[in-house]
Structure 1
């Protein structure tokens, strides 16, 4: 018993010579064509759109997104973040470290992603005592923000924990040193 003849998906004719098998169908080589430009697909790789073959050129032109980072077409995996599309390798911290951010939490500022460390170094409020970023609760006094541990008496360096303190040269003084 012989195998049933292969029939071309496009023209419904029996395929007598070379057969292309793709997408679960058989095709004459000249009928395995891009659904958009209608040119035969000769490459070994192709794209699929709505179950139909699409050549690489048409896929890039008609279906691929553009990476927000490098402005080039996205043909492989797309990262969606901050209402934008990115290549996986382009979704990195916009700060000095340039670390990959795929699969991690990140901060956004002016439409750009940042890792926590760079975000804090670049944008967090700075302590008036030590000049380091303030990432937790702060004391607001003397028109500035302070780490709790940095809000100290200018003279004796004791932590000021009371709500009343004196001021000398725009620095806090504890009640004992101001008296």
Structure 2
């Protein structure tokens, strides 16, 4: 009986790539708040007008600002007491950032003000990019596609994976495998049941679904 020696690769894993965002207030939002500093001995320079600040001032993005000069770069709304978002060195109110810069989540269609998951050529909230089976966020973990739907590794192999007949462990993406005796095997697991010599690409025999090399095919009882 001739061995069926074939090397192939299963469906490849697709890494989700989280895009790091600048200076988030916490892990879910980019919105920051300026810190109010009272007047004192310190006389910093304003990042907007480059003049010395005498009196109370704001601190944001590691710089100091006159209170009346820390404004949205687009609509010029004062950002002294409301949240702001930094984008390419400029500051914007939440409304202008959402309108001009924030990507739209492919799942919920809302604007994304926090960490972005770029996957399947689309943008997602980290909590909206979920496994199609368990509905848990995939975040930056490896996932697999089946019929266009993302699955976490555990559910993918549970639902669609193939187990090796030799070691009974899953044949994962990137593993070399072959099919013989009606089963699927890791290439390193398809060996003679007696001497464990590799049978990949070799003539082999079988007894009771056990592969045997030519040497042991007629000399050993199984």
Aligned residues: 138
* Distance in 2, Cα, partners of 1:30 & 1:65: 30
Q: Which digits, 9 at most, give the CA deviation of each residue in 1:15-57, with x for residues without a partner?
A: 3332112223222211101112221113454211122222111
Check if 1:114 corresponds to 2:144: no
Two-structure CA RMSD over aligned residues (Å): 3.5
Aligned position for 1:8: 46
Distance in structure 2 (CA, Å) of the matches to 1:12 and 1:124:
62
Higher relative contact order (CA 8 A, sep 6+): 2
Cα distance between partner residues in 2 of 1:43 and 1:122 = 52
Structure 1 residues 95-116: Cα deviation after superposition (integer angstroms, max 9, x where no partner): 3x21332243322245431235
Structure 2 Cα separation of the partners of residues 55 and 43 of structure 1:
11
- Is the Cα–Cα contact under 8 Å of residues 23 and 51 in structure 1 kept in the other structure? no
Q: Secondary structure at the match of 1:6?
A: coil
Secondary structure of residue in 2 paired with 1:90: coil
1:121 deviates by: 7.4
Which of 1 and 2 has greater Rg?
1
Q: 1:117 to 1:51 in 2, by over 3 A?
A: closer
| Residue of structure 2 in register with 1:131 after alignment | none
1:45-102 Cα offsets, whole Å, 9 max, x none, are 421112222211111221111112221111111112222221111111123x213322
Structure 1 residue runs of 5 or longer lacking an equivalent are 126-134, 140-145, 149-158, 162-179
The TM-score normalised by the length of structure 1 is 0.58
Q: Distance in 1 between matches of 2:158 and 2:41?
A: 70
Match of residue 69 from structure 1? 107
The answer to whether the Cα contact below 8 Å between 2:58 and 2:80 also exists between their aligned partners in 1 is no
Name the TM-score, length of structure 2 as normaliser.
Answer: 0.48
C-alpha change, 1:124 and 1:22, in structure 2 (3 Å) is closer
CA distance in 1, matches of 2:149, 2:81: 37
Equivalent residues in 2 for 1:21-40, closer than 5 Å: 21-40=59-78
CA distance in 1, matches of 2:55, 2:81: 19
* Superposition map of 1:18-57 within 5 A: 18-43=56-81, 45-57=83-95
CA contact (8 A) 1:67 1:74 kept: yes
Question: Quick check: 1:46–1:55 contact (8 Å CA) kept in 2?
Answer: yes
Distance of 2:153 and 2:132 partners within structure 1: 11
